[in-house]
Amino acid sequence: MAESRPSAAGFDQAALMLRATAAFLHGKSVTRLARPPSPSAPRLLPRLIRQKVLARDDGAGVDESQALAEADAEAVAQWMAASYPRRRYPAIVLGLSSGALVHLCAALGVPWLPETYQVPMRPVPRLSGAAADQPATRPATHFRVTWHRLSRAYKAFLSRSLLSGGSILVVEKGVIPAVPRQDGGIDPGLLDDLLDFARRRGAGVVRLAVGEPKDLSPLVADLYGWWYRRRGIIARRLLATSLIVTDPLWTFRIGAVPFWLEFVTEPSAAGLERYLEMRPPFDYINLCLFQQERPGAEVPPIERWHAILAHAKRRGDFVGVDAASYPADVSSFGRYQAAVKRIPARYPVPAPLLLEEFGGFLRYAERYHLAVEPMDGRVRWLE
């Protein structure tokens, strides 16, 4: 059903993004539902791991007292599916982790299920003699657990939650035609199970292929701007957040166009700058930088972000960021929720965007270097 392999990430991004999506569908802010895991926490997800991980290539093992190995994938899938309100949805999204995808699901009013998640583990070196008495100093290891088939919990959730004739939107890394699976791509076995489920239930399947998770950010930002205009709202504010910092409900409440930064790095800054330079200027730009230590990352100086905020016609501000502590301001996440609520504009949370409206917008997907592929003939909203 699932396999585990080492990952360098420091927290389970998928679980936190799922909580943010579920919070919005419950009509809530994410204040109490999504927060970074404590560094001392042995796990993020609801079940302990059941078998030990064997020795890694570099000779390090995993602390046997934690009994950590491959996650109880079925229990995790049950927890994820149970996070969402029990009702019928016109579509269900499954695939890669992206803050932009959280905002897309919020716009459509639909849930998202990840195809992979991470489990924190604490490796210990295999030592002998006097060295064995020294404290372990190796950093924590995270294992990425990936579903190879459709779990029972996911299948049950799809059965009870997808409207008759609804669609499954598969978002993954790749191109059209299909390429061999890469990190972030849907496993062929899982995709086969989804297609088989869809055939049996009369559902449609759409594949949205992106180069990287961050490539969704310009599309979702422009989708919000386009949708605001259709609702008679002038999109004057851009809200850029990073990593796990996101709150779809308050993005709507302040009438903001969301732009997600995958990391607080120079490539992320350059991507946001390109976006701003190619669009009409926003009156206001708000920016939250969730800073996570990543060895070797090219972290831009705070002046770089000030220059980006200067693209605003009227005012650019950080949200919950202590510029004096950057780039070690690890408390920015905790300050974000209160700070974003101090932004004065207030708009109602809209009814979900119709799939047919989203399909019309996706006619321009090629300009975002994305590929949209209906995988059967039952996807009428893309016609």
pLDDT at 154 over 80: yes
Q: Are 275 and 130 in contact (CB under 8 A)?
A: no
Higher pLDDT: 327 or 251? It is 251
Across the range 304-316, mean pLDDT stands at: 96
Do residues 123 and 57 lie in contact, with contact meaning Cβ atoms separated by under 8 Å?
Answer: no
The pLDDT value recorded for residue 216 is 93
8 A C-beta contact, residue 197 and residue 376: no
When pLDDT is cut at 50, 70 and 90, the band that residue 136 belongs to is: very low
Query: pTM surpassing 0.85?
Result: no
Q: Give the lowest-confidence range in 252-266, 289-303, 337-351.
A: 289-303
Q: Tokens 């109880």 map to which residue?
A: 72
Residue with the bigger pLDDT between 337 and 309: it is: 309
Q: Give per-residue pLDDT as tens, 94-123.
A: 998 899 999 999 999 999 999 887 766 555
Q: 226 or 117: which carries more pLDDT confidence? A: 226
Q: 75: burial class by Cβ within 10 Å (0-12, 13-18, 19+)?
A: middle
Phi-psi region of 243 (alpha: psi -120 to 50; beta: other; left: phi over 0): left
d(CA 240, CA 316): 11
The full set of domain ranges for the chain reads 2-214+353-382, 232-341
Mean pLDDT along residues 29-38: 51
| pLDDT tens by residue, 279-306 | 999 999 999 987 665 555 688 899 999 9
Average pLDDT of every residue of the chain: 79
pLDDT of residue 133: 43
For 49-73, how does the pLDDT look when each residue is reduced to its tens digit (9 = 90+)? Answer: 333 332 333 334 444 334 333 447 7
Per-residue model confidence (pLDDT) at position 21: 95
pLDDT of the residue at 259: 97
Question: pLDDT class for 352, splitting at 50, 70, 90?
Answer: very high
**pLDDT computed for residue 2 by the predictor:** 53
The pLDDT value recorded for residue 337 is 82
Give the model's pLDDT for residue 68: 39
Closest listed residue to residue 35, CA positions, set 21, 53, 18, 16 = 16
CA 242 to CA 1: how far, in whole Å?
31
pLDDT over threshold 60, residue 318: yes
CA distance 95 to 109: 17
For the domain spanning 232-341, the CATH number is 3.40.50
pLDDT at 292: 62
